Structure 1
Amino acid sequence: MSSISCSVRGCHNNWIKRRQQLKQQCFEHKVEMQECCGAAYNLHPPPKDEEHLRLWLKALNLKRPPKRPYVCSFHFVDGKPTDEHPYPEKWLGYDAPVKKPRRVLKRLPPDSGTSGGASNAVENCEDEDDIPTHCDGETQWEDLSVNDHSYSSKLLLQPKPSTSDKGTQCIEQVPLYITLLRNDNLSQLYTGLSLDAFKSVAEHLTKVYSGSFHLHPWDQLLMTLMKLRLNLLQGDLAERFSVSQTIISKIISCWIDLMEDNMRCYIPWLPRETIQATMPQSFKEHYPKTTCVIDCSETP
């Protein structure tokens, strides 16, 4: 059971990781996760029916699928296989074709005043209810916590800002940190900081930030901390923040330098007396006798 892993390319969720997460303390309820919020995800086995298994494997799109292609909860629309969405559809690690809208014929009543042989048939287009899945080849798992720690993927699909002519309303994009960091548990999960600590760091760095990137500065900090905390691939971050991988690389490089120059105040340096008082006895005995020799000669 401990060897079960998610079969989606780029996803590293497995049974061992799930078990370790259950033993972690919930930062909201101050008890172990298994006692309040449960596991962040489950690993669902493939269907036994041959036709359903074929469609399951088709959704995974793997060249060499394992014998038992388990899939974690993050890749299902409903968090698990359901009658409406029985197969993996989200963040599958490859480009899925965008579904075209259906063309639907609607018939008008005979007395509507329309003339012609085909007057009663009016062609109209309706968009598909399902949101098309679109991910790049480096998309990793999405770090979520279930129950009250979960958030809907629809929150990530905020409308992008657009320029328009006079008289057309412009829709602003909601910063991702607002929907993602809703409590201390999620903030700790994604950034390694409590929510108050994240806000304190963000306010401190925003005062000295002088970049011109389109994203909200706090989203840029969140992106950088997610990279440092979870080591997410650039393709994954690009999908989450709706920007290109090139922009992801530039933003992270910018904020790493910004954090290095302006976060020295967060690194405490203990007094020499405190360091000596807490130094292991064996280190006290051997440290004065230690000699470090560096060979600076050139080798042929």
Structure 2
Amino acid sequence: MVKRCAYGVCKSDSRYPKSLAGRVVFFPFPKPKTQQERCLRWIKQCGRPHSQLNVTKINKHAYVCSKHFVNGQPTPEYPDPVLAVQVSNQTREQLGGCRKPPQKRCRLSVQDASGSTSSTDDADETQQYIVDSESTEQPPLPGCQLEREPEEEQSTEKEKKLEEENNNMKLKLSLKETEIERLKAQISTLKKKTLTPELLESSEIPKMLEYSTGFTYDRFNQLCTIFGIPNDPHTTQINVPLNYKRNDWQVAEMPLRSQLLFVLMKLRNNEDLKNLAFRFNITTQTASTIFNSWIHYMFDVLGELPIWPHMMSLHKTCQKPTKQTTHPHLQY
């Protein structure tokens, strides 16, 4: 079903995906049978007259997108959309609106100065001129009375428009401020440091790395060289030797030394994945993916190492037994 936004000059349409950028959601108008007052209030806020929105068919055909709500959706604090700003004549013509409104005209009446003493011939000389209001260059004739709106009414209308524009700008600023706060919260979560071997080595608790992994810091670096990952925290990893079943941004951001530390802590003390995921600032699903991928990789690397040395190396290292000579007095 086609969904189009009925708010002002909004072009959000479900048939055109470009107009739905930013995850636009459509909310239907309130039912006129059960919520007539709220329905009429939405129509007024959208800036549409009753002729363009049929009240009887509002439930099926009228929608308002999430761009025009304070929190992106109707909430108890802001249940109605923001008041629509009136469109200028230029935008109406560009959008294919109705023709221009008729021009205002003023009625001019010229009478002779001689009031009661004028004859019938003088009365015939009384003429009525219809002059266009746009012709302001010519000076008005003497005795003419212009029917114009007072300047006070025009100033009040301008003030109302300025107030409406000011309120709309305030609402937009409040929306931007909430979005900025949300982005700041995401950035703060991303900046949290993950657990590294250096943090465990420099902790106040003695031998914390050896307790967590079973290896000292030097042995841990030697193990990193065996698995083909950097043995120094300052060097960057260019080629990743692992194949992850599910690669996401948390796996890509987590250093390989921290991943090896994560696996060794799991194997050493058999800690729960949820506890380790909380300590390394990752999700439980990412923790499971890292552990399974590293177990397969460690099996491939350590399986190639020989457990028993070759027989020739044993002959070289082992010493030959010396012949035991009997005591000369015990010879028979």
Q: TM-score, normalised by structure 1?
A: 0.31
If asked which structure has higher relative contact order (CA below 8 Å, sep 6+), I would say 1
Which of these two proteins has the greater Rg computed from alpha carbons?
2
Q: Greater share of helix residues, 1 or 2?
A: 2
What is the TM-score with the length of structure 2 in the denominator?
Answer: 0.29
